[in-house]
Structure 1
């Protein structure tokens, strides 16, 4: 079937529709015919903007990762809080689209949004973080954030009482007590994990 001479839809419309399908029906339900049907066009219309399904999924990943708000924080000694806020914003964006979360493992933010990593490296430099630590921080932050958030996204929405599901008070009394005494939400635990990593990097730098 020939491609229409003029595009019937925009690239942004196709990406938004793709996310709608994945959100409501799941990643396995997504296909070019399904997307075309959702948009009320024939599949060849999609090829004005995308070469194949892979390119659409890449655009979906870029939209989810690129839609986060950039923290308004000046460079300085409390620079780790910039990353805490940035990671928290990415977590929120991914959890809004849980079914699409696995796409970010195939299309990593560093591959889609490398310009933003340059900006972040500039922020680190302005905060007097040694350049030799930048890759450790940037690489570690992406791995840590995606690993934690995708694990959370694959489960049902977590609450404090389901951080460790299926705990039996009789056979796991220590874990049961730890859960009872935990006062942090999943979001707070995530943010503290990020802080621990970043301040740990700087602490090791000081010790060395």
Structure 2
């Protein structure tokens, strides 16, 4: 398709408009013609900045990741708190853009935000975390957060607060009782899983050194 001779919109404006459409109308409503209408241009104008729809969605995923607020990076022996705070901030961003959850799942932009990972690795190093643990810690916490949060984001609203949504007391008495006894919020469950993972990674390393 021939490109217009002069760009009528900016790349950033197109990405922001794409996110707004997905947030307000759902991912199924997003298309190049719909985005062009939102920007007040013809669809060919988008080809000044993007090769196709997939490239736009990739940039949408990247922009959402960059919304994550990075906690104050003060080295301390409480580095776990810093890392958990970052992951919970990322959780908040994903849930703020629930309709974009499939985009994040398909276009996980880890390779495009390497500077964020470098900042985290520097923080871990300054906090005295052994360098051989950096990759397991960063890779594991991201996968936990993505898996937990995307699953929650893509569930129907009526079922987001419970763990086992279709439990019936008569058919599943033990699981039903366990569900009733488990009163933590989804965010609290998320934090506890992160802390358990970090405890396991760091103590496994100590056990290996001891032996």
| TM-score, normalised with respect to structure 1 | 0.93
Q: Partners in 2 of 1:98 and 1:3 — Cα distance?
A: 33
Q: Which residue of 1 aligns with 2:66?
A: 66
Is 2:103 the partner of 1:131? no
Asked if structure 2 preserves the Cα contact closer than 8 Å seen for 1:161 and 1:179, the reply is no
Q: Partners in 2 of 1:20 and 1:73 — Cα distance?
A: 31
Asked if structure 2 preserves the Cα contact closer than 8 Å seen for 1:73 and 1:82, the reply is yes
In 2 relative to 1, CA 17–87 (structure 1 residues): closer, same or farther, beyond 3 Å? same
Task: Give the Å deviation of 1:72.
Answer: 1.4
Q: Is the deviation greater in 86-95 or in 100-109? A: 100-109
Residue pairs, 1:1-208, within 5 angstroms: 2-157=2-157, 162-208=162-208
Task: Give the Å deviation of 1:158.
Answer: 6.5
Q: Partners in 2 of 1:85 and 1:130 — Cα distance?
A: 20
In 2 relative to 1, CA 193–142 (structure 1 residues): closer, same or farther, beyond 3 Å? same
Asked if structure 2 preserves the Cα contact closer than 8 Å seen for 1:160 and 1:184, the reply is no
Task: Give the Å deviation of 1:106.
Answer: 2.4
Q: Partners in 2 of 1:137 and 1:123 — Cα distance?
A: 12
In 2 relative to 1, CA 161–6 (structure 1 residues): closer, same or farther, beyond 3 Å? closer
In 2 relative to 1, CA 79–157 (structure 1 residues): closer, same or farther, beyond 3 Å? farther
- Give secondary structure in 2 for the equivalent of 1:36: helix
Task: Give the Å deviation of 1:5.
Answer: 2.7
Q: Is the deviation greater in 196-205 or in 102-111? A: 102-111
Task: Give the Å deviation of 1:205.
Answer: 1.2
Q: Partners in 2 of 1:26 and 1:161 — Cα distance?
A: 21
Q: Is the deviation greater in 24-33 or in 117-126? A: 24-33
In 2 relative to 1, CA 162–107 (structure 1 residues): closer, same or farther, beyond 3 Å? same
Task: Give the Å deviation of 1:97.
Answer: 1.0
Asked if structure 2 preserves the Cα contact closer than 8 Å seen for 1:14 and 1:39, the reply is yes
Q: Which runs of 4+ in 1 moved over 4 A?
A: 158-161
State the Cα RMSD in Å. Answer: 1.7
Q: Is the deviation greater in 73-82 or in 58-67? A: 73-82
Task: Give the Å deviation of 1:137.
Answer: 1.0
Q: Is the deviation greater in 2-11 or in 164-173? A: 2-11
In 2 relative to 1, CA 28–159 (structure 1 residues): closer, same or farther, beyond 3 Å? closer
